Structure 1
Amino acid sequence: MKQTSFILIFLFISLVAFSQDSQISGQVTASGKGLAFASVSVLKTTEGATTDSLGIFNLNGLMKGNYILKASAIGYISVSKPISLTDSQTVVLDFNLMPDKSSLDEVVITGTMKEVNRLESPVPVEVYSPAFFRKNPTPSVFDALQNVNGVRPQLNCNVCNTGDIHINGLEGPYTMILIDGMPIVGGLSSVYGLSGIPNALIERVEIVKGPASSLYGSEAVGGLINIITRKPQNAPILSADIFTTSWQEVNTDIGFKLNAGKKALVLTGINYFKYGNRIDNNDDNFTDVTLQDRISIFQKWNFERKENRLFSVAARYNYEDRWGGDVTWNKSFRGGDERYGESIYTKRWELFGNYQLPVKEKMMLAFSFNDHDQNSVYGTTSFLARQKIAFSQLSWDKKIKKHDLLAGAALRYTYYDDNTTATAVGNGIINSAQKVWLPGIFIQDEIALATKHKILMGLRYDYNSVHGSILTPRFAYKWIINEKGIIRLNAGTGFRVVSLFTEEHAALTGARDVMVTEELKPEKSYNANLNFLKKIYFGNGNFIGFDASAWYTRFNNQIIPDYESDVTKIIYSNLDGFAVSRGISANVDFNLINGLKILAGGTLMDVFSKNEIKSRPVLTEKWSGTWAISYKIPKINIGLDYTGNIYGPMRLPKLSSSDPRSESSPVWSIQNIQLTFSGDKRYEIYGGIKNLLNWTPGKKDPFLIARSRDPFDKNVQYDTDGKVIATADNPYALTFDPSFVYAPNQGMRGFLGVRVNFR
């Protein structure tokens, strides 16, 4: 009897509980088609669902009451609908979303490896649109980043003008460069790979500051720069952007798209840059700016598949011929000791793509392959290098109630060979190409603790065929204070495997010999970053945005090249101690309805290494600032842009105590102004002045390039210990060295250009 009573009571309670639950189903559509992977959330609760490949969603377990359902998707205007539920009710509710072009710049991928709204990401990601870079038109992505706060393009050679990207004061090898999320620009190619990407095909640039190795692996230690190319369906039918300068630089960007059958769209971009004007304003007998002849061809295919599944393939070919040196040099002197020149031929091609597997779950296969062939001569020193990188990654994206999971496996193979000590074994007698396998697995879980609180936990395991197992955990927390304020806390670790070429370009100028005193170990870092984002909206349509971050990064096994022990050598070893990068950074964004827009930022940082003593690395500023001020006058279709940057003093790479050049750089600034006339939506005419202050480095120094009149050191005398002797011809006891460089050596110049777009 007791058992029967218990069963009846249990059934009654279950039926009552069941009777309180309702079911909501429906479809989210856009342009008459089902929208896959759209989000349907129940506001002020943690309930939600994701649409399938046909746009269908189902919500179960809602109790009696009044609710508001919100349907949203990347690139579409969100729609909310109220609904009132009674007991055990089944409701069909459909949503139709409209495209929202204004929201495209707010979509980010880099922080979590999946498309999310920038404000929804627990990882702070900075997004820069083509409109931002058009405020100061440049011939390459490398130059375009000069007005991004906390990011500095650094030239590493006064002769060939190659360089890398510093983020928060960290050297270029700590920055990972991606194209459409693919790690195809790294190692050898990081020096040259940022040139030749057609600006007309860039949809946006995403920047993450701080380690991201738990998602992207090696090299993502200081930060990430992800160049997102346009989708063919979003690109104009034909676009062109051509400009020239008073220094006789010419840059041409052309893009066009076409249909390849009924199910494929093809986007093609061509970039050509030419600079052949030999200028020697500082009278050192060397070209002030490297001469370049570069062409890049890019093509991207998007295929239409059933249920809107993704399949895109892209390829790029880049060829560059650059040289700098003696103003009387020509190719007949290449490799000889009559005229000094640094001549670099680069051939590079890339293939990369994304394929969504034909299964119900959201599974993506990403792949890339690139081949970089470089033939260089630095005076009489030849540098012949080949690098190939193959990459493949399978990822699974799954939402389960409060959990947003991402898991995957990746495999990276790197082949590197050159004719230097970097690939030499047996005391340099035998050359052995480096072949490194890097398989890895990763998982991250983004958990919605409550409406305003979200955490992200990630873990990656890699096995490097040279260095063994590497584990990189990651944690992030996001607190939505209110609709206008967000706090994000990120912490994690990073690692970087050494590539001697990228450590210091000066190793190849012929000025110094390379010495590796030990077997170099991978660098490891530990990072914490606190970010605060605030937007203030005014009733008249004006708003102010404020974005501030504080970071701390500590390195073990850091590789710091030693230039000071012996002026004829670069000595590499792991630091027997630790290194730190810490600081604060802030951006302020004013948008006023009268046409005035101001974006200004500043960074204050302390970067140092500590063994027995604390020392600051060369070419690292303590503070910097950037700004972009724009004003539009609609009545006459004129826009004005005033952009610039400013940098505090940095320690400079002097050769010795007798070197008369400055120990630190002055405060310096590059400023630009531009006027743009927009006749209609199809064309723009723009022009202005770059480097308004006509600032160039070294005006208070006796020279920038040490012994530019004797670049082969024919008149340098040495003592029995191999040290340079001071003579009448060489009073400072120096050898030829072009590494004393901290800023572009290009003065004021005018520019004029035109843009055309047909949609």
Structure 2
Amino acid sequence: MKKYILLALFMCRCVLVLGVEPPKKSTDANIFGHVVDRDTHEHIPYATIAVTGTAFGTTTDASGHYFLKNLPEGALTLEVRALGYASQTQQVTLRRGQTAELNFEVVQSGISMDEVVVSASRSARLRREAPALVSVLDAGLFEKTNASCLAQGLSFQPGVRVEDDCQNCGFTQVRINGLDGHYSQILVDSHPVFSALTGVYGLEQIPANMIERVEVLRGGGSALFGSSAIGGTINVITKEPSRNSAQMSHTLTSIGGSNSYDNNTMLNASLVTESGRAGLCVFGQSRHRSGYDHDGDGFTEVPVINSQSVGMRSFFRTGAYSRITAQYHHINEFRRGGDMLDRPPHEAQVAEQIDHSIDGGSLSFDISSPDRRNRFNTYVSFQNTARKSYYGSKQDPDAYGTTHDLTVAAGMQYIHEFRKLLFMPSELTFGTEYSYDDLGDRSVGYDIHTDQTVHIVGAYLQNEWKTRKWSLLVGGRLDKHNLVDHVIFSPRVNVRFNPSEAVNLRVSYAGGYRAPQAFDEDMHIAIVGGERVRIQLADDLKEERSHSVSLSADLYHTFGKVQTNLLVEGFYTILDDVFALRDMDDAADGGKVKERYNGSGATVRGFNVEGRAAFTRWFELQAGVTLQQSRYREPEYWSEDAEVPPVRRMFRTPDAYGYFTASFKPVRNFTADLSGTCTGSMLVQHMAGSGVGQDVAVSTPSFFDMNIRLSYDVRIYKEITMQLYGGVQNLFNAYQKDFDKGVDRDSGYIYGPSLPRSWFVGAKFSF
């Protein structure tokens, strides 16, 4: 393994050295100007100014002015972007020693049509011109919903739902279009370093203040990103330095109105050199959440969390058309659920205790030709996780374990634009990728060892014929997985038709696969009826395959002064050799064992509808709903009890669910944000224990989880602002009412919102 890592680092180093341009004589070609609101003529602070096709860029200062110096000579295109405004471009021609003035008057736009996304084709594209439909969650949404981590903000997109799957430790997973967590691939800055181990609790370990935006690509993504992207991809884009600034905040939440509190402190700072050649953005979070016992049985429904995280992202512009980007993060998290939280875990009746230490980062290099017709990217990324755990009950002294996991990914990508290829201009993308995952799991007391080493070598090729009105993308990816005997091919076809800028029509097909390896829930040992339950893989387990088709219409229209957007998307996914679980003979240690095997197959079909409306500057509304069916081809047995009937409906997949957000700003400094999620009835397994005497598939009630957040901004001194805020999460207290109780409870019998009605207050300082 060391030789692969050293080779990847050496290749990256060589490209970096070759890409660094020698010092050149200053061009003294400069541009200055301002950005103002076209209607009010007020200057707009902190708008982003980018020189298209180059590494140059800056932001306006607090007075709305900007200055760019030592730019390349010739024709340049400048693009301005500001929150709440439509993007705008202007062209200018510069000569050596010339200083030009270029001013922008931008138009207010509550709904952006020109968001830039990278997940649709692994290159930056306008969202409305991307070959596949990409949904975007920005940092503002995480603030509006009072989300402290990735898990708490993901549900506010159509077709996406986050659920809590363990009453003891709070294990969460995200479902896209009804497919459970291991069908979706989580990327960090487009890099696949989120392993099976970090997938167990990783959604809560990524702090919200680390995130610039999240791009969600629903449907098969294996043709671009490889294994485990059957349901879609979630691409977490970390914050990048854009100007000199800092933020610090603290939020105090009373869980269930009790004396169990969640204290969350976040810090961000951004520094950019005067020349704009380099920048550094740092973040930090410290969180302490007390355990919460909802039903008074002495066992927690919400686990203790103590976490600290710190990280940074930095860039260095090596030339006019090239740059290096580095990212690093360190996360420490301790969590524990069960009873007797102040005692060692082996003295408790039930304890799930996990202590993580995670280090991860990446280094990438981007370079392009001056005309942007040739672009090259190379990267290497890693994540190392060390975990100490205890999953046990009834004062079991042998339930301690340790796990180590190292994930490394490296790749290169080349893009060439043809002015005409056969019948239309096109963009050819070719890339190679190598990923390595070395997992070692030890249950010391039971002498159980899980060792898994995964090597995946992949290559992808795609060509997109495109104009502003039409695009046709045809491509595929070849993967050689060391746990699969043959090479796996994942095809992709996308067609886009834009009869106007306000109408975007798409149809897509993608094939995908999921390899037979240990997944996130295999690294989580549940406690059911006081016994440990773990998962093993069948000897003849083979990869799971998928075929996904989607059709979508993304429509924009303005009714008077009301801007609207309507998205309708239909999807149909066929799964072959679906992974399923069956009970096996009890293990020698007395615990229960479930085996993962290839089932009959399944189909998932439905549609997403999302609407957005910006009525005025002070009122915006967004809502989405998903209606779907998730069914196995044949009934699947899920219990060892012969009297329990098999089911065709997939567990934990409601046929209807949705979300909404609304923002009111009646006066300049005051904002009221409403948000909520609605989850329809679904089937959940309830295993025999303290709650029921026999395994049963329970049809759960529906839930509506609504939140409210009120905030007021106070200008303290010039560029220093304090925001005071407060609100209620789960306003109507839509919380599960039939939890199992006591030591014999089924910890997996949990559904609905993750918190009862909870009150929060906080303050944020911005510099």
TM-score relative to the length of structure 1? 0.80
Aligned partners of 1:500, 1:351: CA distance in 2, in Å?
23
**Other-structure match for 1:589:** 612
Superimposed CA distance per residue, residues 220-253 of structure 1 (whole angstroms, 9 cap, x where no aligned partner): 111111111222125x521122211123211111
**Other-structure match for 1:199:** 208
**Other-structure match for 1:5:** none
Check whether the contact 1:38–1:72 (CA below 8 A) recurs between aligned residues: no
Matched, 1:159 2:168: yes
Matched, 1:559 2:595: no
Give the fraction of aligned pairs with identical amino acids, expressed as a percent: 23
Tell me by how many angstroms 1:533 deviates: 0.5
Which of 95, 111, 129 is the matching residue for 2:138?
Answer: 129
Check whether the contact 1:200–1:239 (CA below 8 A) recurs between aligned residues: no
SS of residue paired to 1:181: coil
Aligned partners of 1:695, 1:34: CA distance in 2, in Å?
46
C-alpha spacing 1:30/1:476, structure 2 compared with 1 (3 Å)? farther
Out of 524-533 and 572-581, give the one that drifted further. 572-581
State the aligned residue count: 651
Aligned partners of 1:212, 1:173: CA distance in 2, in Å?
13
Superimposed CA distance per residue, residues 563-585 of structure 1 (whole angstroms, 9 cap, x where no aligned partner): 69999745334334211111111
Check whether the contact 1:266–1:300 (CA below 8 A) recurs between aligned residues: yes
**Other-structure match for 1:580:** 603
**Other-structure match for 1:466:** 483
Check whether the contact 2:726–2:762 (CA below 8 A) recurs between aligned residues: yes
C-alpha spacing 1:452/1:38, structure 2 compared with 1 (3 Å)? farther
Tell me by how many angstroms 1:188 deviates: 1.0
**Other-structure match for 1:390:** 408
SS of residue paired to 2:119: coil
Matched, 1:668 2:685: no
Tell me by how many angstroms 1:434 deviates: 1.7
Which of 231, 244, 249 is the matching residue for 2:262?
Answer: 249
Which of 247, 264, 271 is the matching residue for 2:278?
Answer: 264
Which of 548, 565, 579 is the matching residue for 1:527?
Answer: 548
**Other-structure match for 2:727:** 688
The amino acid across from 1:615 in the alignment is: R
The amino acid across from 2:574 in the alignment is: R
C-alpha spacing 1:410/1:29, structure 2 compared with 1 (3 Å)? farther
SS of residue paired to 1:200: helix
**Other-structure match for 1:731:** none
Check whether the contact 2:576–2:600 (CA below 8 A) recurs between aligned residues: yes
SS of residue paired to 1:652: strand
Larger radius of gyration: 1
Tell me by how many angstroms 1:499 deviates: 3.6
Tell me by how many angstroms 1:429 deviates: 8.3
The amino acid across from 1:574 in the alignment is: Y
The amino acid across from 1:397 in the alignment is: I
The amino acid across from 2:335 in the alignment is: R
Superimposed CA distance per residue, residues 599-646 of structure 1 (whole angstroms, 9 cap, x where no aligned partner): 0110001001123676112111111011111111125x2211111111
C-alpha spacing 1:596/1:513, structure 2 compared with 1 (3 Å)? closer
Unaligned residue ranges in structure 2 (runs of 5+): 1-28, 34-48, 56-70, 93-99, 256-260, 420-424, 637-646
**Other-structure match for 2:59:** none
Aligned partners of 1:595, 1:604: CA distance in 2, in Å?
31
Check whether the contact 1:239–1:755 (CA below 8 A) recurs between aligned residues: yes
SS of residue paired to 2:675: strand
**Other-structure match for 1:42:** none
Check whether the contact 2:659–2:676 (CA below 8 A) recurs between aligned residues: yes
Aligned partners of 2:391, 2:563: CA distance in 1, in Å?
53
Which of 357, 375, 393 is the matching residue for 1:347?
Answer: 357
C-alpha spacing 1:30/1:352, structure 2 compared with 1 (3 Å)? farther
**Other-structure match for 1:24:** none
The amino acid across from 2:678 in the alignment is: I
Check whether the contact 2:182–2:519 (CA below 8 A) recurs between aligned residues: no
Check whether the contact 1:518–1:573 (CA below 8 A) recurs between aligned residues: no
SS of residue paired to 1:419: strand
* Aligned residues: CA RMSD: 3.2
Tell me by how many angstroms 1:689 deviates: 0.8
Tell me by how many angstroms 1:340 deviates: 2.1
Aligned partners of 1:34, 1:133: CA distance in 2, in Å?
26
Aligned partners of 1:73, 1:476: CA distance in 2, in Å?
30
Aligned partners of 2:114, 2:166: CA distance in 1, in Å?
35
**Other-structure match for 1:651:** 683
After the TM superposition, which residues 253-402 of structure 1 pair with which residues of structure 2 at under 5 Å, given as runs?
Answer: 253-258=266-271, 263-276=277-290, 278-326=291-339, 328-331=340-343, 333-334=344-345, 336=346, 338-357=348-367, 361-379=374-392, 380=396, 381-401=399-419, 402=425
Superimposed CA distance per residue, residues 640-661 of structure 1 (whole angstroms, 9 cap, x where no aligned partner): 1111111111111122584487
**Other-structure match for 1:416:** 439
The amino acid across from 2:507 in the alignment is: L
C-alpha spacing 1:752/1:549, structure 2 compared with 1 (3 Å)? same
Aligned partners of 2:272, 2:158: CA distance in 1, in Å?
40
**Other-structure match for 1:727:** none
After the TM superposition, which residues 12-23 of structure 1 pair with which residues of structure 2 at under 5 Å, given as runs?
Answer: none
Check whether the contact 2:709–2:725 (CA below 8 A) recurs between aligned residues: yes
Check whether the contact 2:223–2:512 (CA below 8 A) recurs between aligned residues: yes
C-alpha spacing 1:440/1:675, structure 2 compared with 1 (3 Å)? same
**Other-structure match for 2:247:** 239
Aligned partners of 2:103, 2:214: CA distance in 1, in Å?
26
C-alpha spacing 1:517/1:264, structure 2 compared with 1 (3 Å)? closer
Tell me by how many angstroms 1:459 deviates: 1.1
The amino acid across from 2:551 in the alignment is: L
**Other-structure match for 2:594:** 571
The amino acid across from 1:77 in the alignment is: Q
Check whether the contact 1:38–1:55 (CA below 8 A) recurs between aligned residues: no
SS of residue paired to 2:724: strand
**Other-structure match for 1:50:** none
**Other-structure match for 1:66:** none
Which of 162, 173, 178 is the matching residue for 2:187?
Answer: 178
Matched, 1:37 2:53: yes
**Other-structure match for 2:495:** 477
